Amino acid sequence: MQKDYVPYGSDVAAGTFECVDCGHRYSNQAKTSIPPCPQHQKSTHTRNGWKVLTGQGDAEKDPYPSR
């Protein structure tokens, strides 16, 4: 199954992202890893990721900086 979102902690290019669980929008410059949604709650945030609205999203060569 292919995901249509970028998981928390992924390397991302600059862009605009939307939380797949609550719709919160986040814009950033290139990051080593994208943070969790600031409105994160275990009971409502089950997918734990961001939909890429603009930019390139997950870096294919290094998607998880700590792995």
65 located within any domain: no
Digit-coded pLDDT (tens) for 28-38 = 887 678 899 99
Mean pLDDT to the nearest integer, 1-26: 88
Q: pLDDT-based confidence at 60, cuts 50/70/90? A: low
Domain membership flag for residue 29: yes
Domain contains 12: yes
Residue 8 covered by a domain: yes
Least confident of 20-24, 27-31, 55-59: 55-59
Instruction: Give the chain as a 3 state SS string.
Output: CCCCCEECCCCECCEEEEECCCCCEEEECCECCCCCCCCCCCCCCCCCEEEEEECCCECCCCCCCCC
Enclosing domain of residue 26: 1-57
